[in-house]
Each structure stands twice: as structure tokens, then as C-alpha cells.
Structure 1
Amino acid sequence: MTPMMRRNAAWLPSVFNDFFDTDFMPRANATAPAINVKESDKGYTVELAAPGMTKDDFNVHINDEGNLIIKMEQKNEKKEEDKSVRYLRREFSYTKYEQTLILPDDVKKDTISAKVENGVLTVELPKVVEEKVKVSRQIEIG
């Protein structure tokens, strides 16, 4: 009978973690920002979590098809020079996100507003107010 080698399932991931998770190859963060959509009698509110972003990092518009497009893009470049060593170090940070939302028919598209506050983009989508006109009249009997 040949002795069976017992496999240790943990050795493979740790080898790869030591190899890939270094300063030269940091882990990629590929998560999308969280979005909340709320509805009230007066309209809809879209909230998008964007910590560290400013209003200049966003582009919010309605396309030709009447859909709401939210684009977020931030580029950071830091340069540090140490003249005694003559070493130049650069750190790049780039964040890009785009979301298309199909708007309901009852949204008043010409009054949509957006603001960024405390790391949250808030887009207000007011509803079309349908005025209920009471049709009251006398009907002649002929």
C-alpha cells in the first residue's frame, strides 16, 4: 500500500498571494459605487456614493434617447523628487465610472438637478405634476 500524501489546500493561495500582492502588483479594486434610488410623491432621488469626489469629477446629462447618464472620472498624479538620490517616483490614480438610467415617463426632464455633498452625488428627478381639472358643465337635454 502506497502512503497517500495529504494535500494542504492553503499552500497554493499563499504562494500566489506572496507573488502577486506586492507593491509592484497591487490588487485591483473593481467595485462600482453604491446607488440608491428613492421615490416620493414629488419625484425620484438618485444617490451615488463617491467619497473624495468633487462636482468637477462628474458629468450628469440626458442623452438623445431621454436616458440619464452619470459619468464620474477622477485622475490624480503625484510626483515626488528626492534630489539627493536623483530618484523620481510617480503615483497614478484613475477612477472612471459610467451609469445609464432609463427615466420613467413621469419625470420632468427640464427641471432635473444635481449636487455633490459629503461624498454623495444626489440627482433630483421631479415628477410631472398633473393638474386635475374638474370638468363641470351643464349638459343640455335635446
Structure 2
Amino acid sequence: MARLTNSMFPSIPSFTDRFFGGNLMDWNNWNFAGIDSTLPAVNVKESDSDFKIEVAAPGLKKSDFKLNYDKGRLTISSEKSDEKSEKNGKEVTRREFSYQSFQRSFTIPDDIVNADKISAKYKDGILHVTLPKREEAKVKTVKEIKVS
């Protein structure tokens, strides 16, 4: 396989090395959180009563998140910017800007989710979103009837 190399700084892996270093046809194993992107890693779990989504987003605050649910589509986004500067007297000697943003969307059949009871909490760097299922969509245990 051909690889692009950074001949000026061979010990520093470049974005293209990471992007083109893998098998491009193996789309099932892509984790964009590992290639210097700001797309957070996500876990999605389904149980008989709900869907749970966990978004790894350390360093953010509750107020940094925006969640929308519309017609079976949950969108989670965040934007955060920061500016730091050092002053020596009246002159600015150094100024740094930081900007982070992401948006993830999930499609879940609208007739399954009870949209009025969707909840979210942010704890220890992880956003936890719970999408309860409607009563009629929950898996019911099968009742066995004995023949007498």
C-alpha cells in the first residue's frame, strides 16, 4: 500500500498518514475520534424500555450542549470557544484562540420513542441521553398458556 510521508518531520505523523494508513474499504471499523477530529465517541444501547446514548465530551459544560428531537431524528451539538491572552503592560504579548464544535444525529423510528420523556444529563465528561420507548413499542413478555 502506498503511504504519504512527511519528509520534513518524519517522526511526526500527519493527518494524511492516519487517514490513508488504514484500509479505506473497511468502513465498519472507522472511529473518527482517533484521527484528530472533534467528533466525540458515542455508545448506543437499546433495552426493552428505552434507548440510551452516551457521548464522550470531556471539558464541556451542560450549557455547551444543544439537543433537538424532531420526527425521529435526535441531533446533539456543541460549540465552545475560548480566548486567552497574556499582557505585558498595555501590550498583548500572546493571544490564543480555541474553538471546538461537533454535531451528531441519530435516527430512531418516531413511532417508538416517547418524545415527551426524553432526558439528558452530563456527568464526568459523558453526556447521557435517554429516549424512553412508547408503551406499545416495549417488548412484552410472552405469557405461556397451559392447556388443561
Deviations 1:112-140 (A, max 9, x none): 000110000010000111298xxxxxxxx
- Over the matched positions of the two proteins, sequence identity in percent amounts to 43
How many residue pairs get aligned? The number is 112
The alignment partner of 1:88 has SS state of strand
Structure 2 alignment gaps of length 5 or more = 15-34, 141-148
CA distance in 2, matches of 1:41, 1:73: 33
Structure 1 alignment gaps of length 5 or more = 1-11, 22-27, 133-142
Deviations 1:55-91 (A, max 9, x none): 111000113x33111011111111211228x343111
The alignment partner of 1:29 has SS state of coil
Q: Where does residue 35 of structure 1 map in the other structure?
A: 42
Of 46, 49, 61, which residue of structure 2 is paired with 1:54?
61
Q: For 2:88, give the aligned amino acid.
A: D
Change (3 A) 1:118 1:68: same
Change (3 A) 1:17 1:92: farther
Q: For 1:53, give the aligned amino acid.
A: L
Q: Where does residue 70 of structure 1 map in the other structure?
A: 76
Q: Which has the larger radius of gyration?
A: 1
CA distance in 2, matches of 1:16, 1:37: 39
Q: Where does residue 137 of structure 1 map in the other structure?
A: none
Q: For 1:89, give the aligned amino acid.
A: R
Q: For 1:107, give the aligned amino acid.
A: V
The alignment partner of 1:13 has SS state of coil
The alignment partner of 2:68 has SS state of strand
- TM-score normalised to structure 2 length: 0.66
The alignment partner of 2:6 has SS state of helix
Q: For 1:47, give the aligned amino acid.
A: E
CA distance in 1, matches of 2:92, 2:44: 48
- TM-score normalised to structure 1 length: 0.68
Q: Where does residue 106 of structure 2 map in the other structure?
A: 101
